[in-house]
Structure 1
């Protein structure tokens, strides 16, 4: 009897948190229009591909929200974008394999057309027209601009920290340190492991070199970076400021190809070969 009551209370709490998150989301309309049966299908198929993934409704809605963020960023970019979250990608995979979706008019392609103004193809990494590292850089800049942040600054979009916040098994733990964007791999329990790597492709100098940010945006970043380092050196009594920037000769740098979804996270936009 007590076990039944405990289970019922837990379900009420989960439903409350689900609705609370849904109502606060910028993508409430899209999330409420997800296909019927997608949650149950995801619960069944996601663990087969993403081992150890949580299967509760809270994880599902937050991961689905991450996918909506990605679609939004893609729709406002004219370059291929990479998905930096395995949690969000698990929703995408489940939707693509949803039984009878075509017959019921529930295809993800028509959903994206309706809410984001274009179809957004899911491509394997090897089929993408650019390297995953560049696709992730495109997503980072598009996300910053779309959310009203400096494209060359140190702001880490929520989509990039999604796996870490959800403790996604084998996900990607992005974080900002010393004004730079880095990432760590995650183990089967969703814990960040190993050293923090700083992909060259996410460094502002690289973003400038490939035309993703303007010279004025880069100059603003450098000015702010110097100000912070100077302030830090004064407060610590040291004359040396730490820097997260790295170049191709730095053995601690990664090219970013290993810090995006293993299937490429898809890419969308005019740069997808369309």
Structure 2
């Protein structure tokens, strides 16, 4: 394997924004011959799930990484793909950096930590460099991340989706055969309105909704032990009931989860036996049973 020298200053083409050598992937068709995108499996991956929120700031990436780690603790070969081209979070959450190497087939080789494999745009650009690309470049880069990574055999791959219901989400649902989606939301009404839009999007494109996760459900004061529902009570539970969706679990608003994430050692690794760690493991177990993992 060889190291690929990636630079945002190199001349990049719309058809190959990551600057990858020609690989053994499907041949590119002339634009005139291209029809609607065709869904296909991600090579060497048995199950693929998408974690979405449709709204930023609700802890979706933290939950996606902890779920991938929880699947690994349950004995599965697990990986996570960061599909946020503009604001990748996975490198920080997994305490990883550096450029991926290329396999003999000119595929990107994932970076690994804590027993899971990962790929992110954050590994391909300098940490403080912005991605100043138009939509066509972004969508092609996403396609390369989806289909030009050599995962080496996974039982499950978790896709960490960016906020919204736009081009990125549509590209993923059109190009990848998903086994289901997870919707993350806080109990707050303003977050739930976007979460409902996310539910409607997945229903419209025919992706099964595995369930919802209620994040930041309650704050427990570390000093006095008093519980406070900062963002409201049971908002996600009521949304699940009204839409016929399963509530997969609650994650409390806990400063330690944030501290673990910022240190690059997520809760499932740092404190698997804690109440918060067990919450992630329980949600992963329920997801696994629903998709026959």
Query: How does the TM-score come out when normalised to structure 1?
Result: 0.30
Query: How does the TM-score come out when normalised to structure 2?
Result: 0.29
More helix by share: 1
More strand by share: 2
